[in-house]
Amino acid sequence: MIRLAMALSLAVSGAAFAEPALYNIDSSHTFPSFEADHAGMSIWRGKINSSKGTVTLDKAARKGEVDITMDMATIDFGHDGMNKHALGADILDVAKFPAATYKGALSKWNGDAPTEVDGQLTLHGVTKPVKLTINKFTCRPHRMTKLDNCGADAAGSFNRADFGVNFGQQFGVNMEVKLAIQVEAMIPPPASAPAPAP
């Protein structure tokens, strides 16, 4: 009976240890950026300055999920006129569609590091599949909290006309948008712990 109790205790402990860990997106270190054709003349680049969400990660089981919300009113091309136009009804119509979301599963792995996200992007009220390639993935203890802290560089692309964002298509503008996403996420410290430094 003692051996059986010990075995059950170890099994329960092992199952608990293997449970997925929840990471909060560090908004101050996460900025989805993009590049798109501008009137067939040049490539313009911008970023979204505010995003939030979570990542669920189970390295042992090679499973995980991503859930990110982006505030589209914070889109930034570094050009006030372009920003204003992008937010308006002609393009993103942020008054009607203030947020974009990306939700997906970590679908490919190299050892305990994910290499691909198979997800769904919701933009301009339309949801379509968008796959991201993870080019770099690193985890290590945060220098202050000592809790696991992960960072990644991901990339992908989509056709914005598929989401109803087709301004310029009639003039021959290329509808492809390329993404380059820097993201950092950490296991949240206990409520009593000091906030980590930037």
CA 194 to chain centre: 26
Separation between Cα atoms, residue 47 and residue 34, nearest integer Å: 6
pLDDT of residue 149: 94
Structural contact between residues 195 and 172, judged by C-beta atoms closer than 8 angstroms: no
Strand-pair partners of 127? 122
Q: What is the DSSP letter of 59?
A: T
Question: What is the CATH T-level fold of the domain 17-186, as seen in this structure?
Answer: Lipocalin (2.40.128)
The domains of the chain are located at: 17-186
Q: Over its length of 198 residues, how does the chain's per-residue pLDDT go in tens digits?
A: 444 344 444 344 443 445 789 999 999 999 999 999 998 899 999 999 999 999 999 999 999 999 999 999 999 999 999 999 999 999 999 999 999 999 999 999 999 999 999 999 999 999 999 999 999 999 999 888 889 999 999 999 999 999 999 999 999 999 999 999 999 999 998 775 555 666
Among 150, 181, 131, 133, which Cα is nearest to 30's? 181
Among 52, 78, 48, which Cα is nearest to 180's? 48
Strand-pair partners of 44? 36
Q: pTM for the complete prediction? A: 0.84
